[in-house]
Amino acid sequence: MKSYFDLTEDGGSDIAGQVGRQRQRIAEALAGVEHVIAIGSGKGGVGKSTLTMQLALAMERRGRRCAVLDADLNGPCQARLAGLENAAILPGGRGMALPRTSTGLGVVSMGSAVPESEDLDFASVARGDSHVWRATREFNLFQQLLGLVDWGRLDVLLVDLPPGAERTLQYAEVLGPGARFVLVSIPTALARGVVARSAAALRRTPNVTLGVIENMSGYYCGSCDEVRTLFDGPVDTAPELGLPVLASIPFDPRLAAASDAGEPELPRGPAVTAIEAAADSILSGLAERRAG
């Protein structure tokens, strides 16, 4: 039996040709997209998906054409956040038509194709080997989505990344050197320690990391109309991120409720103000880099 190290050729699969053709398809599909911004962290559960949707809405309110691509294929959240759990991804003019929310935001999420009661089942070649293929198939499916969807003309395509510092790096490779990153953290040493690993991983790539959004920085108490302390542990025991802080967003229970209900437009308050500040920082960061 041959081992991996005995393989000197591609066994006739023309792997280099296949990769080249897929890259070409993706480049063509994204030709009308001005900026790709990946929202990552490394740490799970810190609000990447929630803020991806909120940033897209805030940018749209500022007149930018945006769409959201949910890169979390196993734990997709964008379909629920957008109220598009049953949206069909249908053939369109050039590729697959972009599913849209009632307000017109384009959202592509596996959550529209696979109900929450089911997992995403990647068929395996032999019993018990799916762990070997899973990452490969996952990235392949992600690349197919990127290349198949008719994104049209967009100012910003926001990509909601799954957790994992290592995966953040892999998505940088898949999205290419032009994709910018924004990292989401929360004010705990536990989260910042992991986000610091992602920041370090991204420094090894040509991709620009625009900054970090500090989420859940305080808790907005609606009845007293005040932002109160949520976490007050010793965050300083984690390494500095060495990134500009784009905004600090409080935890607002109305945001969690609206997100669950798939009605992500929020009443005004400190959370929306901070989300808009984050969107403005990101947009001005993009403009500066274009001018510079």
Query: Of Mg ion, ligand ATP, none, which one sits near residue 112, judging by CB under 5 to 8 A according to partner kind?
Result: none
82 or 227: CB nearest Mg ion: 82
Question: For the purposes of burial, counting CB atoms within 10 Å of the CB of 170, is it exposed (0-12), middle (13-18) or buried (19 or more)?
Answer: middle
Supply the DSSP string of 121-143, one letter for each residue. Answer: ----SSTT-HHHHHHHHHHHHHH
Phi and psi based region of residue 242 (left: phi greater than 0; alpha: psi -120 to 50; beta: remaining): left
* Residue 135 CB partners (closer than 8 Å, separation 6+): 170
Angle at alpha carbon of residue 14, lines to 13 and 16, rounded to 5°: 130
**Which helix (H) or strand (E) segment is 158 a member of?**
strand 154-160
Residue type, position 195, single letter: V
75 or 176: CB nearest ligand ATP: 75
Structure tokens given for 242: 């060495």
Q: Which of 78, 192, 251, 272 binds ligand ATP (CB under 6 A)?
A: 251
Query: Of ligand ATP, Mg ion, none, which one sits near residue 146, judging by CB under 5 to 8 A according to partner kind?
Result: none
96 or 165: CB nearest ligand ATP: 165
Residues 107-136, interacting with ligand ATP (CB under 6 A): none
Q: Which of 56, 249, 272, 283 binds ligand ATP (CB under 6 A)?
A: 249
Q: Which of 30, 33, 36, 48 binds ligand ATP (CB under 6 A)?
A: 48
Query: Of ligand ATP, Mg ion, none, which one sits near residue 163, judging by CB under 5 to 8 A according to partner kind?
Result: ligand ATP
Nearest residue to Mg ion, scored by beta-carbon proximity? 49
CA distance 117 to 259: 19
29 or 271: CB nearest ligand ATP: 271
Are β-strands 226-228 and 209-221 bridged in parallel, bridged antiparallel, or unpaired?
A: antiparallel
* Residue 40 CB partners (closer than 8 Å, separation 6+): 48, 161, 168, 171, 181, 182, 183, 184, 198
Q: Which stretch binds ligand ATP (CB under 6 A): 40-48, 84-92, 94-102, 173-181?
A: 40-48
Residue type, position 27, single letter: A
Should residue 69 be labelled a site residue for ligand ATP when binding is judged by CB under 6 A? no
Q: Which stretch binds ligand ATP (CB under 6 A): 8-16, 41-49, 57-65, 165-173?
A: 41-49
Q: Which of 168, 198, 215, 281 binds ligand ATP (CB under 6 A)?
A: 215
Site of interaction with Mg ion (CB under 5 A): 48-49, 77
Residues 146-205, interacting with ligand ATP (CB under 6 A): 162-163
Structure tokens given for 221: 């108490």
35 or 48: CB nearest ligand ATP: 48
Least distance (Å) between residue 45 CB and ligand ATP: 4
- Other Cβ atoms less than 10 A from the Cβ of 36: the count is 21
Q: Are 67 and 187 in contact (CB under 8 A)?
A: no
Residue type, position 74, single letter: N
Helix (H, G, I), strand (E, B) or coil at 72: coil
Structure tokens given for 141: 């499916």
Q: Which of 26, 50, 191, 192 binds ligand ATP (CB under 6 A)?
A: 50
- Residues near ligand ATP (CB under 6 A): 41, 44-50, 72, 75, 77, 162-163, 215-216, 249, 251-252, 255-256, 259, 271
